[in-house]
Structure 1
Amino acid sequence: MDRPIGQWLSNLRRPGALDGHSAWEEALREIDPDWNPAWPADWQRHYAALRELVRDEAGQVDVLPGVTVHGMDVGRWLQKNRQHTVRQGFMDR
């Protein structure tokens, strides 16, 4: 399709982008039910980067603000997401 897959998926996440393409949406859901999550894609990127960073660590790992992966401050992101009000916001979705 002459487009990077990430850009194509990002475009499909726009409201109304799959109108008239129910087969595409069904196929994407079969591959990954969370291909179009209710949470922000930026949140997912930070989560995936942090998960990869600590994948081989044993036990609890302290990732401090300022620790970056691919230019993303995953330490600051983790600190923010450990706050009760932020976590509660996800529970309300």
Structure 2
Amino acid sequence: MQFDLSALETATLVFIATLVFAAVLAIFVLTAALAAMLLLGLGRLAWAVAAGMLLAVVHGINAGWEIVARAAVGFPSRTSASGAREPVPAPSTGTYPRVI
């Protein structure tokens, strides 16, 4: 026995076609949403890597500049044996303490 579409009513064919069209649209929307989430995730990852690298470069420049400045002035490093920084007294400008 062969399958004959002419035996189906028009309303049944319209209903089946509507379900197929809805499935195609749903697959398209889900695929687009997945692609958007992947692109946003990759963009966020790239931003986090770039920001981390920039922060590392800035910290490296600051550390290097501190070493160079201390070597140029001839001051030893102001750290105690435990590695904690010792407070440095701020020089006074006369009436008001210096604020930097």
User: Do both share a fold (TM > 0.5)?
Assistant: no
Higher relative contact order (CA closer than 8 Å, sequence separation 6+): 1
TM-score scaled to structure 2, two decimals? 0.19
Larger helix fraction of residues: 2
Q: Give the number of the structure whose alpha-carbon radius of gyration is greater.
A: 2
TM-score scaled to structure 1, two decimals? 0.21
